[in-house]
Homo-oligomer: A and B are copies of this chain.
Amino acid sequence: MTIRVGIVGATGYAGEALFDILLRHPSAAITGVYSRSGDRRAFSELFPRFKGRTGVICSPLDVKKIVNDSDAVFLSLPHTVSMELVPHLVKAGKKVIDLSADYRLRDPAVYRRFYKIKHKDAGNIKRAVYGLPELYRAKIKTAGLIANPGCYPTAAILALFPLLALGAAEHSPLIIDAKSGASGAGKNPSGDMMFSEVHDDFRAYKVNCHQHAPEITQELTRVSGKKTGVIFVPHLLPLTRGILETIYLRSLPGQKRSTGSLVTLYKKFYKTEPFVRIKDAGSFPRLKETAGTNFCDIGIQADGADIIVISAIDNLIKGAAGQAVQNFNIMYGFPETTALL
């Protein structure tokens, strides 16, 4: 069985990564690549690294054509643009995997507060499944619309899921000190993201006001049943790909655990997960070990009541395109690691 897939908005970094992965997918045929700019240019002209590997031509963003030519559609569009398109695709019965933030937050009021715009397709929010397979694999199988998780939330939620789901730590405040490479900021030129500004620099930004914070608390609250609160400080690393988060929390009063027991707990918890790897005690993730992969690596340490969890992913793979394809594989019953190992 070959699924005809369309990629809408393939000219950004996540779209490029998506194209790269789907090109290697034995059961997916890229039948269309659509960009808002509307240029009819060879995709390999936009991204010369694909020259000799594909003859696909970019098309203008035409809903009819997308509907006609695709079984599944990946949307790699800026937030607020996705929600213009999704209703049409859902209505036409297409499987939609949306990499934007538009269907992640279940409360339109929260969306409005953080994305500064009223949601235009609130009706479909309930229909959307939050596409983190480790939490929602069963629902993803039958979903028609996937809200593919944000990069920071993926690393944070996977790091905290075992402790909070098992009620083994306090829910607030969870201190998340996050560091991301520059590709997370996208391709649009901006003075802040010029080479000479980012190279040899390191800085915090959107200190405790980043739009990924409510996504993290929403999901952690759902899995744990208790309201969680995060302090979330993202920083910009002088490298292109990767997110590492160092998370500080505390065990419940009177329930201290050793590092060893926590490592064991995590290993057991994620035992059957193909893309979560738990480091042995005393060992911690490095960006280099996840770069270019769909893995999330996690290290844990306890010091008295204090617990430190460190997680790392490639923001464009497990934090975007790889996870999208993982969801695609689950939706169509393909082996979950197809094209991802």
Question: Which residues on A are within 8 Å of B, measured CB to CB?
Answer: 13, 24, 48-49, 51-53, 173, 175, 177, 179, 182-183, 187, 189-191, 193-205, 207-208, 231, 233, 235, 237-242, 244, 246, 248, 274-275, 277, 279, 284-293, 295, 297, 299, 301, 303, 306, 308, 310, 341
Contact = CB atoms under 8 A, between A and B. Distances in A.
A294 B194 CA distance: 25
Given A207-B308, A208-B308, A239 B49 contact: no
A203 B291 contact: no
Contacts of A201: 239, 286-288
A282 B37 CA distance: 24
Contacts of A199: 182, 195, 198-199, 238-240
A231 B310 CA distance: 14
A191 B187 contact: yes
A310 B195 contact: no
A207 B248 contact: no
Contacts of A51: 277, 289, 295
Contact of A238 (B189, B237, B301): B237
Please indicate which of the listed interface residues A205, A289, A293 has the most CB atoms of chain B within 10 Å of its own CB.
A289
Given A199-B195, A238-B195, A308-B231, A246 B190 contact: no
B200 A288 contact: yes
Given A197-B195, A208-B301, A248-B175, A287 B203 contact: yes
Nearest to A49: B289
Nearest to A200: B239
A286 to B, nearest CB: 4
Nearest to A182: B195
Given A52-B277, A194-B194, A195-B182, A202 B246 contact: no
Given A48-B286, A177-B177, A200-B239, 4 more contacts: A179-B202, A200-B241, A204-B246, A208-B301
